Chains A and B, each alone.
Chain A
Amino acid sequence: DADVTQTPRNRITKTGKRIMLECSQTKGHDRMYWYRQDPGLGLRLIYYSFDVKDINKGEISDGYSVSRQAQAKFSLSLESAIPNQTALYFCATSDLGQGVINTGELFFGEGSRLTVL
Chain B
Amino acid sequence: GDSVTQMEGPVTLSEEAFLTINCTYTATGYPSLFWYVQYPGEGLQLLLKATKADDKGSNKGFEATYRKETTSFHLEKGSVQVSDSAVYFCALTSNYGGSQGNLIFGKGTKLSVKP
A positions within 8 Å CB-CB of B: 4, 33, 40-45, 48, 56, 58, 90, 92, 96, 99-103, 105-106, 108-111
Contacts and interface: CB of A to CB of B under 8 A. Distances in A.
B105 A110 contact: no
A24 to B, nearest CB: 14
B46 A106 contact: yes
A43 B105 contact: yes
Nearest to A48: B102
Q: Is the interface of A mostly helix, strand, loop or mixed?
A: loop
Nearest to B45: A108
Contact of A102 (B45, B89, B93, B108): B93
A43 B89 contact: yes
Contact of B93 (A4, A43, A45, A103): A103
Given A101-B100, A101-B101, A102-B93, A110 B43 contact: yes
24 contacts: A40-B107, A41-B107, A42-B105, A42-B108, A56-B98, A56-B99, A58-B99, A58-B102, A90-B43, A92-B44, A96-B101, A99-B100, A99-B101, A101-B32, A101-B93, A101-B100, A102-B103, A103-B93, A105-B46, A106-B36, A106-B103, A108-B44, A109-B43, A110-B42
